[in-house]
Amino acid sequence: MALGPRLELRQGQSLVITPQLQQAIKLLQLSNLELEAYVEGELERNPLLQRDEADHEPEVEPVKTDAEPFEADHVPDAVAEADIDARADDLYDSASPGEHATGDAGPAMGGAEAGGSIDWSKAGRGGGFDGEDGEGHETHARELTLAEHLNEQVAVAGLTGAEQVIAAVLIDAVDEGGYLRADIAEVAQRLGCDLDMVEDVLTVLQGFEPTGVCARDVPECLTLQLKERNRFDPAMAALVANLEMLARRDMAGLRRVCEVDDEDLKEMIAELRALTPRPGAAFGGEPAQAVTPDVYVREGLGGLWHVELNAETLPRLLVDQRYHARVSGGARTDQEKTFVSDCMASANWLIKSLDQRAKTILKVASEIVRQQDGFLAFGVEHLRPLNLKTVADAIGMHESTVSRVTSNKYLATPRGVFEMKFFFTSSIASSHGGEAHSAESVRHKIRQLIDTERAGADVHSDDAIVDILKEAGVDIARRTVAKYREAMRIPSSVERKRMLRETA
């Protein structure tokens, strides 16, 4: 057999992830805040894009799902009612960057406004004086941060210039709880000064208000507060040095270490409880970012659940066709023509991607509501086991797409605002051979059993909880009960007995 070079023609298929497809995939997993920042960047970069400020009539009716629990046959197909049957992959495979947009973000943008009976854009807005809604008026002054409060005290502490520099560095290393999160030896080395000088400055800072600030751990924080109250005697020092024994409720060991009787030990513990383990928590920090839901779920007439997108989280964009015609007609060089063509293609694809993102979120949210209607109607005990594959198969998408959609997305329901991933829970088999139980509902049952405990024989061990749950139809192992209990930060039955006995 002769060996030699030759030319061959072969035909095959391969998956190529284009930059446009990567953009569409990226948009799916962005939160509404990240999406807003991304769109702002595109508006600045692409001159053909502009915001659509006009009002639009809803083009997609709210999705309605049956609220009757555990009767899937009676639940209408939410996806079909929303008229969003197009698969997400169809856009990614067939849409071409060169296609022309219609000038709007598509039906999903209108669908976000569906459900005109409730104006969600005004919900939760507090009214001002004389009927004004109070926008643009600051009603409260900004809270002073802990760092600002400490720096104000440094200014009047009489420190030298070098000591003020050290104090500023140490204050920068204080966290929101008031604890120093820096090694003073490293600070001294970095600033090129003596360790004793840094320790002296730290001693001054630990004398500032609030008492206990700039401590390096909890025992030191409590020690500073006890010294200010003139209550740091040898017995109290021994108690502070053995906080882990107090956490285990080892009262016999504490009495032996502190060399006190039961009555004195109770008084010492009461004094510790009156102290503040996080002295810096009373001061303002970074403002908490409110969660804005991506989807609203509300109960309608006839036991149906209405699922609608939050219009305020969906950017409205359109292509300025007039400006495009003007600049494309004035382009002379190939570079100018290429730039205008690329901007047009990018704008069209971004609008298509935003449209498909909105449709996909609505699809996934509608299926989640259909699967978890028992939770919406009756509470966490009726939360069903659910995984990504179940939702993906129901709406005809890949599991990875559902995973991206449910990341950093929130549903506002009558029972509160929940992240979409909250509704995906593992299953625990039924001991009676019936429908499986969700892990979240089992955790809720465990917490209910423990909350009803009283001092004495009513404290349930992990084995007793297993027996009670098996009688209720939940087939669960003792180690699983212990894992769930520890995840909820519930102490063991021995520790709970001690706590109940002391509070009795």
The CATH number of whichever domain residue 478 belongs to comes to 1.10.10
pLDDT at 292 over 80: yes
What confidence score (pLDDT) does residue 504 get?
Answer: 58
User: What is the dihedral sign for C-alpha 472, 476, 479, 480?
Assistant: negative
Per-residue confidence at 85, pLDDT binned at 50, 70, 90? very low
Residue 416: inside a domain? yes
What pLDDT is stored for residue 77 in this prediction?
A: 39
pLDDT confidence of residue 432: 66
Same domain, 352 and 372: yes
In this model, does residue 121 exceed pLDDT 50? no
Q: Which of 4-8, 91-95, 334-338, 486-490 has the lowest mean pLDDT?
A: 91-95
Average pLDDT over residues 475-485: 88
Q: What pTM, to 2 d.p., does this model score?
A: 0.57
Task: Give, for 417, the enclosing helix (H) or strand (E).
Answer: strand 416-419
Among the three residues 282, 307, 333, which one is the final residue of a domain in this structure?
A: 282
Q: Which of 253-267, 349-363, 394-408, 488-502 has the lowest mean pLDDT?
A: 488-502
Decide: 108 and 359 in contact? Cβ < 8 Å: yes
Point out the domain boundary residue: 383, 398, 423.
423
Q: Is residue 226 part of a domain?
A: yes
Q: Which domain holds residue 490?
A: 427-503
Q: State the DSSP code for 430.
A: B
The verdict on residue 9 lying in a domain is: no
- Show Cβ contacts of residue 88 under 8 Å, excluding neighbours closer than 6 positions: 356, 359, 360, 397, 401
Q: Is the pLDDT of residue 290 over 90?
A: no
Per-residue pLDDT tens digits for 312-324 = 888 888 888 888 8
Interatomic CA distance for residues 230 and 408, integer angstroms: 50
Q: Is residue 130 part of a domain?
A: no
Name the band, by pLDDT with cuts 50, 70 and 90, for residue 201: very high
Does 137 reside within a domain?
no
Can you tell me the distance from the alpha carbon of 44 to that of 497, in angstroms, rounded to the nearest whole number?
63
Whether residue 374 sits in one domain with residue 303:
yes
Q: What is the DSSP letter of 128?
A: -
What residues pair up with 410 in beta bridges, in sequence order? 419
Domain termination residue (choose one: 282, 302, 322): 282
Instruction: For residue 76, give the nearest of 302, 385, 359 by alpha carbon.
Output: 302
Are 428 and 438 in contact, with CB atoms under 8 Å apart?
yes
- Rounded to the nearest integer, the mean pLDDT of the chain is 79
Q: Assess whether 184 and 272 both reside in one domain.
A: yes
- The predicted pLDDT at position 94 comes to 37
Percent over 90 (pLDDT), the chain: 28
Q: Within this chain, do residues 357 and 466 fall inside the same structural domain, yes or no? A: no
233: domain CATH number? 1.10.10.1330
Q: How many residues does the chain have?
A: 504
Radius of gyration of the chain (CA): 31
Which residues contact residue 185 at a Cβ distance below 8 angstroms, ignoring those fewer than 6 apart? 195
Same domain, residue pair 324 and 414: yes
Residue with tokens 């000088």: 197
Residue 13 covered by a domain? no
The 10s digit of each residue's pLDDT in 141-168 is 557 888 889 999 998 888 888 899 899 9
Q: What is the mean pLDDT of residues 26-53?
A: 89
124 in any annotated domain: no
Closest residue by Cα to residue 169 from 186, 187, 152? 187
Q: Which of 3-7, 46-50, 413-417 has the lowest mean pLDDT?
A: 3-7
Task: Tell me what pLDDT residue 329 has.
Answer: 84
pLDDT confidence of residue 64: 53
As for how many domains the chain has, the answer is 3
Higher pLDDT among residues 433 and 110, named by residue: 433
